[in-house]
Structure formats: structure tokens, C-alpha cells
């Protein structure tokens, strides 16, 4: 199961408490700092893999698919993702056609299926992103730079200490 996450410098900002009669301002040095992550959950092993990209588009999506193949070079991969426009682009279709050319459908190296439209609640990767962003918000006082924000986010992902009901909704015994 696959999804993308766009981490923005402003994500670390949450609610601020203060007197209603006083204006509260929070300085932001650079609101353009951002990092896109592609994430893939191996539903069988519960391993989660991330891939950094400058942005999410067809070209970086192809890079991500190649990265996943490099992790399991002999495996056939089933990708279940949302209907983002770059998932459905001509470039992606051409890439998959060239990869799976002359193979029977059962032998395709990468097969892509979509979650229901407008249903992020179906994708457990959404919960993984939320959990990592929640950690950032809980430790916002350490986040003096965007590199610290990214470090905390990646630490939350790398530790792979997530477990929630959606991880068990699919499969033979769901």
C-alpha cells in the first residue's frame, strides 16, 4: 500500500494559547521548506519503506517504483494506491507497459490497483504519516530548523513502532 506525504515547515506549528486580548505572532523563517516522501507498506511483513523526492509527479513516482523493485528484485509487486493524477499519467502507464511487456498478467513485475475514490481511510499509510506528524507536534519545542523536523519525522518512520487496527483490516483473516 502506497501513499505520499508532503512535509512542510509550517506543519510543526499547532495551537497557541494566550490572552484573547493580545495578538500572538509566531516567526517563520522560511515557509517554503518542504519535503515529499513516498511510503510503501509491505502488508505481509508490516515493513514500511520511505523514499525522498523533491515533489510528487510522474517522474518521481517512477523513481519510487524502481526503488521498490530494487528492494525485492525477484518479487512481483502489487501496488495499491490512491487515484492521484500522476499515478494515472501516461508516463506511468508507459513505464508499466515497458516493464511488463510480453508478460502474462499473472507474471507482471508491478501491478497497480486503486483504493476507492476519495477514501483515504482505507489506506493504512495515511495513519503512519499521521503518527509521524503527531510526534513532530509533540516535540515541536526541539524543532528549531526544518532539518530537525525532517529528522524527527524520519525517526518516527524508521523506528517502525506503529500498530493500529487498519494494519489488520486486509488479508485472509480480516
| Domains of the chain (ranges, CATH numbers) | 30-166 (3.30.420.10)
Residues of the chain with pLDDT under 70: 10-18, 25-31, 170-174
**DSSP β-bridge partners for residue 36:** 6, 53
Average pLDDT, the chain: 86
pLDDT score of 173: 47
- 2 near 39, Cβ under 8 Å? yes
In 17-142, alpha helices (H):
58-71, 90-100, 124-138
Q: How many whole angstroms from its chain centre is CA 72?
A: 19
- 112 near 81, Cβ under 8 Å? yes
- Please report where in the chains the cell 499521521 appears, as a residue: 130
Report d(CA 120, CA 76) in Å as an integer: 25
pLDDT score of 77: 95
pLDDT score of 1: 83
pLDDT score of 171: 62
pLDDT score of 169: 72
Reported as a single tens digit per residue, the pLDDT across 29-46 is: 555 788 999 999 998 888
pLDDT score of 11: 60
- Exposed e or buried b per residue across 141-164, where buried means at least 16 C-beta atoms within 10 angstroms of its C-beta: eebeebeebbebbbebbeeeebee
pLDDT score of 117: 83
Report d(CA 170, CA 35) in Å as an integer: 30
- 42 near 21, Cβ under 8 Å? no
pLDDT score of 172: 52
Amino acid at each position: 500500500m502506497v501513499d505520499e506525504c508532503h512535509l512542510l515547515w509550517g506543519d510543526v506549528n499547532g495551537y497557541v494559547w494566550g490572552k484573547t486580548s493580545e495578538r500572538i505572532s509566531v516567526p517563520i523563517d522560511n515557509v517554503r521548506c518542504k519535503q515529499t516522501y513516498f511510503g510503501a507498506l509491505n502488508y505481509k511483513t508490516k515493513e514500511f519503506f520511505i523514499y525522498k523526492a523533491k515533489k510528487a509527479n510522474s517522474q518521481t513516482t517512477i523513481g519510487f517504483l524502481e526503488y521498490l523493485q530494487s528492494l525485492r528484485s525477484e518479487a512481483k509487486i502489487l501496488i495499491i494506491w490512491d487515484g492521484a493524477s500522476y499515478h494515472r499519467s501516461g508516463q506511468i502507464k508507459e513505464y508499466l507497459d515497458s516493464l511488463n511487456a510480453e508478460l502474462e498478467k499473472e507474471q507482471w513485475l508491478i501491478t497497480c490497483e486503486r483504493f476507492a475514490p476519495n477514501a483515504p481511510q482505507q489506506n493504512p499509510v495515511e495513519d503512519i504519516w499521521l503518527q509521524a506528524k503527531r510526534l513532530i507536534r509533540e516535540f515541536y519545542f526541539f524543532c528549531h530548523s526544518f532539518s530537525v523536523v525532517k529528522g524527527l519525522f524520519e525517526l518516527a518512520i524508521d523506528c517502525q513502532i506503529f500498530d493500529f487496527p487498519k494494519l489488520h483490516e486486509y488479508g485472509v483473516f480480516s
